[in-house]
Amino acid sequence: MSTIAFIGLGQMGAPMASNLLKQGHQLSVFDVNPLAVQALVDKGAKASATPSDAALDAEFVITMLPNGDLVRSVLFGDSGVCEGLSREALVIDMSTIHPLQTDTLIAGMRAKGFSMMDVPVGRTSDHAIAGTLLLLAGGTPQQVERATPVLMAMGNELIEAGGPGMGIRVKLINNYMSIALNALSAEATVLCEALGLSFDVALKVMSGTPAGKGHFTTSWPNKVLKGDLSPAFMIDLAHKDLGIALDVANLLHVPMPLGAASREVYNQARAAGRGREDWTAILEQVRASAGLNNQQC
């Protein structure tokens, strides 16, 4: 069992700390909210007056805070973690913050001789309570190996995301994709309603196609991800179908800003000479727009 400093006892942090206690770890906790601290003390934790105090003698320091400025302040501020931390300890930031700030924080800790990794979590506060969070571990293999017994007290699935900073990166990508997809799904569903089509029928059809299953595991693996851009379904035709959908949506008064933006991406792909390539070549088109070199295509 380990000696752990836990800083940040909010909606997620509190049950995570509780689960560490249940597994027999020794916890020193810190939060600006004394009620949150007391609740953990009642479960066996030790209250600390400052992050620095919490970090004294800790083998692990876990931070679970609302934003990156707070993590910075907790680590580097007055009476911050750095003032009490041993060079042998491992700092684990589990907050969801800006990835480039994570890089800065890890570099700052390294410059002072400290070891730090990022392990943001997936799923919800219910999973935090149940100890079944998804752990997205950004760290060296040694850091991950060392942290795993502690982390698995809070979650039931750990994905190694690569080196330090990669945990927060994969969380960002996942959230970007799911949040934007949510808005796109709403557009399709409202167009469905405006067309007088049963949503159940649409769902049945989409459940068998990339519309419902996504592209990553259906249309992409044997085409663009293999460098094969020969057309199974041409960009020209995809562009045409988008145009029909937008035309119908505009006739029926269904605003579709994501659809409108995507049509211009296909428009640009055609302008770049990709009209007769497979629709999955849109990945290469977006890569080119980002100034990445044209390897695949």
Q: Pairing mode, if any, of strands 155-162 and 121-122?
A: unpaired
Interface with a second copy (CB under 8 A), residue from 176, 222, 227, 230? 176
Give 49 or 195: the residue with its C-beta nearer to a second copy. 195
Residue from 43, 171, 213, 223 carrying the catalytic annotation: 171
Shortest distance in whole angstroms from residue 272 CB to a second copy: 6
DSSP line for 145-161: HHHHHHHTTTEEEEEEE
Work out whether 124 is an interface residue with a second copy (CB under 8 A): yes
Contacts of 111 (CB under 8 A, 6+ apart): none
Tokens of 208: 């068998």
Q: Which stretch binds a second copy (CB under 8 A): 26-34, 48-56, 148-156, 249-257?
A: 249-257
Work out whether 293 is an interface residue with a second copy (CB under 8 A): no
Query: Does residue 166 have a known ligand-binding role?
Result: no
> Quick check: 64 and 95 in contact, CB under 8 A?
yes
3-state DSSP call for residue 86? coil
Shortest distance in whole angstroms from residue 78 CB to a second copy: 13
Work out whether 1 is an interface residue with a second copy (CB under 8 A): no
Give 108 or 122: the residue with its C-beta nearer to a second copy. 122
Binding map of a second copy across residues 180-209, x = CB under 8 A, - = no contact:
xxxxxxxxxxxxxxxxxxxx-xxxxxxxxx
* Distance from the Cα of residue 120 to its chain's centroid: 7
3-state DSSP call for residue 122? strand
Work out whether 143 is an interface residue with a second copy (CB under 8 A): no
262: DSSP letter? H
Query: Does residue 177 have a known ligand-binding role?
Result: yes
Work out whether 243 is an interface residue with a second copy (CB under 8 A): yes
Which residues in the 32-61 window bind a second copy by CB under 8 A? none
Decide if 112 is catalytic: no
Work out whether 140 is an interface residue with a second copy (CB under 8 A): no
Work out whether 70 is an interface residue with a second copy (CB under 8 A): no
Q: Which stretch binds a second copy (CB under 8 A): 37-45, 56-64, 75-83, 169-177?
A: 169-177
Give 56 or 297: the residue with its C-beta nearer to a second copy. 297
- Dihedral of the alpha carbons of 22, 129, 172, 149, in degrees to the nearest 10: 20
Question: Looking at beta carbons, which pairs linking 212-216 to residues 24 or more positions away fall under 8 Å?
Answer: 215/280
Query: Does residue 274 have a known ligand-binding role?
Result: no
- C-alpha distances in angstroms, 96 versus 163, 168, 169? 17, 7, 10
Work out whether 263 is an interface residue with a second copy (CB under 8 A): yes
Give 58 or 166: the residue with its C-beta nearer to a second copy. 166
- Distance between CA 168 and CA 233 in Å, rounded? 35
Give 49 or 177: the residue with its C-beta nearer to a second copy. 177
β-partners of residue 60 are: 4, 90
Shortest distance in whole angstroms from residue 4 CB to a second copy: 25
- Distance between CA 93 and CA 43 in Å, rounded? 23
Work out whether 242 is an interface residue with a second copy (CB under 8 A): yes
Give 89 or 137: the residue with its C-beta nearer to a second copy. 137
- C-alpha distances in angstroms, 76 versus 72, 138, 160, 222? 6, 21, 27, 48
Q: Which residues are catalytic?
A: 171
